[in-house]
Every structure is written in structure tokens, then in C-alpha cells.
Amino acid sequence: MKYVIIGNSAAAIGGVEGIRRVDPEGEIILISKEPYATYSRPLISYFLAGQVDARHMAYRPASFYRDTGVTALLGREAARVDTEASRVILADGEAVSYDRLLIATGGVPFVPPIEGADAGGVTTFTTWDDAKALKRLAPSLKKVVILGGGLIGVKAMEGLQAHGIDITVVELMDRILGLVLDKTASGILEKKLVQEGVTLRKGTTIRKIVPGGDGKVREVLLENGESLEADHLIIAIGVRPNLRVAADTPIACGRGILVDDAMRTNVPHVYAAGDVAEATELLSGEKRVIPILPNAYRQGKIAGMAMAGQESAYLGGLVMNSVEVGGIPAISAGLMNPPEEAGYEVKRFLDKKNNVYRKMVLKDDRLIGFILIGAVDRAGIYTGLIRERIDVGPFKRRLLESDFGVIDFPRDLRSYKLSTVYM
């Protein structure tokens, strides 16, 4: 059997390990546009800040490809898939045939059509090369504007703060991290950022980028009429599934590549996993793209096993986010901001003095979402309760307590091992 994997991040590595769990002998060819061995993308902000070096960026040991018998075509871009001939066409024209194909191409940054976006000094922040370029530039930068106060923008901001750069974050929503936190949680983090000298501009976006005589960005004009001086602009308003290789093929796509619970596409012998895949979401049962590493790896492993002939069902992805802002950790999972309608129960605890906030969202005595700010050590327990759909009625009055734990479970539940704790 000849397996081909397009991609080299968490889903692709999960695919390799899934295949090898079932088939120790089949040929595996991995194709990656980036020239690096697999690395951990969440670490690029720490690399930018100087908190980790190149040695610590690895997602798997340097011997991974050799140990798993993988032929890694690094620095080679897959241009398209020919599903009729069962082959992948590379950008240089070479064709790689397959018996089973896994598309794990991840996401690409979304850059909106802003006037002047082609100016020098306008970049994104999703790859190691992005972080390397910013790190080289950092000593010469004085004022950086970040468009987007979501997870990518906040991570870019954290990396740049270590270099003493004047940073302004422009966010269209009324708060930073608005898709993963509520107003109270965001407010705690925003207050800390302002104390650290970060400027926030909320409820507006960039209308125009103005270059200087050297062709590099000099200022940005906001929709609210304000002008911000900048010698660099990072566009960090999100990513979209990288569907390029699926274009002009019969592979069915929605927002991402549509897959079943074995990660199969509608085309025989073609699978997809990770940030490019539109798979089942745990709580709603609907198809959704959930671009986070744990889901990507699990999808990749399930796909790899299925490709090798051993199927297991993907039980659904759970939205989870973890970030640290100004030394304050924040974790959220599931449905954090439920619609204002009957059936949801929301429990909150707030300690402003110590920057501690806990929020639990329940429906029918099942925990379906939470936010933790400051004290996050119980996140794994809460996540397990969501995944296992545990009836928390007997102990829900204890959910917000700082010492809540397994000891609060009824005896029969205590003896039951929660099978999926990911935090």
C-alpha cells in the first residue's frame, strides 16, 4: 500500500502514527511546502519572544521520519490532486501516485481587501518563517499595529512585547478574544494589557494602509477616522482552510473539506484531517471546522488508521482555547456564550482583586462550556465532564468552588474513569 500525506503539522503526524499503528510496512510519502521537519505552531510566539530556541520547536524528534519509515518531501509544494489518476501533482510538475491520500494542508491566513495592503512591512503570523522574519526585524521596529485581537493577534502581541515595541491592537469586536471569552473574561485581560502599555482600539478596523517614500507602511487609517503611526502591520484576523489542492476536483467542500467520522471524503481513498477538514462537532453534532491542535492530531490518527484498514469513529471535536495574557492564564471550552433563550444555566464566580474568574454553562444538568481565568488547574476535569456528557446535577453547586474535584463526584462516578481528558 502506498500512502501519501499532504501536510506536515499535527494532523499529518497523527496520520503517520495512525498508519503505522496498523500497517508497519506500507510506503508513506509526506509532502510539505515548508522546508522544516514538523514543528509546533503554537510555539512560534515563544520563539519570537526568545523564550524557546529552534531546538525546542520540534513537534517530534529529528529521527521521526526515519523511525517511521517516511519519505519526507520537505520544501516541495503540492499544487493539485488528480483524483481520477490517483496522484498528487507538485508545483514543479512532478507527479506522486497514491493508493490512499490524506489531505492535511491546514489553514491559510485571511487577508481582507484593504487599500495599501501590498505595502512593505505588512505581514501575517501563522508560520515559523513569519516568526523568524519578525524576530530579525524586531530590533528596528518602534511602533507595530496588529489587526485582530483574537488568538493569533494576541500571540503575536505577546511575542513582540518581549522586544519593548510600542504595540496597538485594532479589533472590530467590542473586546479582545471575543470569540472565545465573554466580556468579563476579556475585561480582565484587557486591563492587564493596558497596564503593560498595550494600546487597544476596539469597535473599528483598518480602512487604509499608507506607505512612506520607501514603500513600507508608515501609518494606518481606521474606520473611526483615527490615524495610527506604524512601521509594521501584522494582519491577524483569522485563517481559512487551505483548500487549494481540492480545487477543481470532485472532493466535496463546505467551509472545509467535508468528511465522515472516519475522516473519509466523498471521493474513494481520499481522506482529510485537521484545520482543513469540516468534521463533526461534539456538542451540536453538526459539521464544523475547529482549528486546534488536539482535534487535528486525533483526526489525523483516525484517518491514518482508516487508510490502513482499521476504522474507529471520530466522536466529535470540542472547541478549546488556551492562552496566557500578561501572565494571566485563560482557558475556555465548549459553548462559552450561549444564546439568551430558555434551557441554559450559567454560573459565575469573580475575584477582581486576584484576576480570577470562573464561568460554567449548563443545559439539562450537563456541563457544555466553561471559561477559566487566573486559576485554570481544574480545566481537565471540566473538559472531561463535557466530553463524557456527565450528569452534574448531584454536584453542580460545587462546580465553581476553587477546590472542586473528583472527590465531589458521587461514589459510582468516582469509580468511573473519565476516558478523555485533554487539557
Query: For 58-105, what is each residue's pLDDT tens digit?
Result: 999 999 999 999 999 999 999 999 999 999 999 999 999 999 999 999
Query: For 10-27, what is each residue's pLDDT tens digit?
Result: 999 999 999 999 999 999
Shared domain for 129 and 230, answered yes or no, is yes
Does residue 418 have a pLDDT over 90?
Answer: no
Query: For 359-403, what is each residue's pLDDT tens digit?
Result: 999 999 999 999 999 999 999 999 999 998 999 999 999 999 998
C-alpha cell at 29: 510519502
Query: For 218-238, what is each residue's pLDDT tens digit?
Result: 999 999 999 999 999 999 999
Shared domain for 13 and 76, answered yes or no, is yes
Query: For 182-199, what is each residue's pLDDT tens digit?
Result: 999 999 999 999 999 999
Give the C-alpha distances (Å, rounded to integers) separating 63 from 54, 58, 144: 16, 11, 39
Given this model, what pLDDT does residue 408 score? 78
Does residue 162 have a pLDDT over 70?
Answer: yes
Q: Looking up cell 491542535, which residue turns up?
A: 293
Does residue 137 have a pLDDT over 90?
Answer: yes
Give the C-alpha distances (Å, rounded to integers) separating 257 from 66, 267, 284, 293: 30, 11, 19, 17
Q: What is the mean pLDDT of the chain?
A: 94
Shared domain for 334 and 282, answered yes or no, is no
Q: How many domains does the chain have?
A: 3
Shared domain for 11 and 88, answered yes or no, is yes
Q: What angle do CA 245, 19, 128 make, to 5 degrees?
A: 50
Given this model, what pLDDT does residue 336 score? 92
CATH number reported for the structural domain that contains residue 84 in this entry: 3.50.50.60
Domain final residue, candidates 307, 340, 360: 307
Does residue 419 have a pLDDT over 50?
Answer: no
The residue with greater pLDDT, 413 or 300, is: 300
Q: How far apart are the first and last CA of the chain?
A: 36
Does residue 420 have a pLDDT over 70?
Answer: no
**Domain membership flag for residue 314:** no
**Domain membership flag for residue 312:** no
Segment 341-359 mean pLDDT: 93
CATH number reported for the structural domain that contains residue 384 in this entry: 3.30.390.30
Shared domain for 303 and 383, answered yes or no, is no
**Domain membership flag for residue 140:** yes
pLDDT tier at 414 (50, 70, 90 boundaries)?
low
Segment 29-38 mean pLDDT: 98
**By residue range, what is the domain housing residue 207?**
122-237
Across 107-116, 283-292, 332-341, least confident range: 332-341
C-alpha cell at 399: 462546580
Distance from CA of residue 234 to its chain's centroid?
18
Shared domain for 148 and 212, answered yes or no, is yes
Given this model, what pLDDT does residue 318 score? 93
